[in-house]
Amino acid sequence: MADGALSYCGAEVRSHDNDRFLCALFAPPDAREDLWALYAFNLEVARVRESVSDPTLGAIRIQWWRDAVAAIYDGRPPHHQVALALGEAVERGGLTRYYLDRLLDARQDDLDDEPIGTLEELDAYAAATSASLASLTLEASGVRDEALDQAAGEAATAYALAGILRAVPFHARFRHIRLPTALIEEAGVRREELLAGQGSPALATVVEAIAERARSHLSAARRIGRMPRAALPAVLPGALADRYLARLRAARYDVFAPSREPAPITRHLRLMRTVLTRRL
């Protein structure tokens, strides 16, 4: 059953989080399936908000995962494909429960209709989700080092911020705005135009401010210099973030422009360059 569960996780991540699937391919072979289990768990809780019509139903689902995590650390994971695989990853890697709980707390906040107020709040949300996952990635890869954890967290936060910008068209279709209210109001963005999928110079100003924050995280991550090979899967999302941000800049920060997304081959080349140099 365990082998089937792990294969299921790999397939889910390949289909729905292909960036992290690719990053995990550079992990030690004995850690790869555990990374896919972590990322499949992240998928399960990340898509709760978009998969329910009532926040109460979402809260029930998040609570189920809270109970599942508690059961995993008690040595009795529920009979759920992702939970079983996550249980094995926790046992093998001695994963720190705090990061799983922190991630769940952030996804619980996703269910609220309260808008994100400031860039600092958006930054904190990005760290709570992606940086927590990066810390778990390091642990599952057998890496426990404070400086590397800091660098991976910075790279992951940059990736999350870039991901929020890339997801603006998707969220707009559901009439959701995940951009900071303070920036939107200061720039004079018209909400109905944004929700209708229309770019504007005002919106580009907001996008550029968030992109610059993401770049500051990448700059902080680069200070680590050359990294051990085992740490690369946790840091590689930062390399992809760098590419996504470059494409956004080329599109003049128009998140609705078709040219904002890089060609798949450029993702692979960017990852390979980082792996070969072991530098972000």
- Is the same domain home to 179 and 264? yes
Owner of token pair 């200061």: 186
**Model pLDDT, residue 4:** 46
**Model pLDDT, residue 21:** 96
109 in a structural domain = no
Q: Which residues of the chain have pLDDT under 50?
A: 1-5
Which of helix, strand or coil describes residue 223?
coil
- Is the same domain home to 146 and 192? yes
**Model pLDDT, residue 3:** 46
**Model pLDDT, residue 2:** 47
- Is the same domain home to 207 and 270? yes
- Is the same domain home to 29 and 88? yes
110 in a structural domain = no
- Is the same domain home to 203 and 173? yes
How much of the chain is in helix, strand and coil states, percent to nearest 5? 75, 0, 25
- 67 vs 70: CA distance, rounded Å: 5
User: Nearest CA to 126 among 143, 138, 109?
Assistant: 109
Instruction: Please tell me the pTM assigned to this model.
Output: 0.94
- 238 vs 221: CA distance, rounded Å: 8
- 110 vs 112: CA distance, rounded Å: 6
106 in a structural domain = no
CATH of the domain at 16: 1.10.600.10
Ramachandran assignment for 227, one of left (phi > 0), alpha (psi -120 to 50 degrees), beta (any other): beta
- Is the same domain home to 158 and 47? no
Of 96, 128, 152, at which residue does a domain stop? 96
Of 96, 128, 145, at which residue does a domain stop? 96
- Is the same domain home to 81 and 128? no
Report CA Rg, the chain. Answer: 18
**Model pLDDT, residue 6:** 52
Of 69, 96, 123, at which residue does a domain stop? 96
101 in a structural domain = no
Question: Quick one: angle between helices 264-277 and 232-250, nearest 10?
Answer: 130
If one counts the domains in the chain, the total is: 2
- Is the same domain home to 130 and 266? yes
- 271 vs 76: CA distance, rounded Å: 37
Domain that holds residue 69: 1-96
104 in a structural domain = no
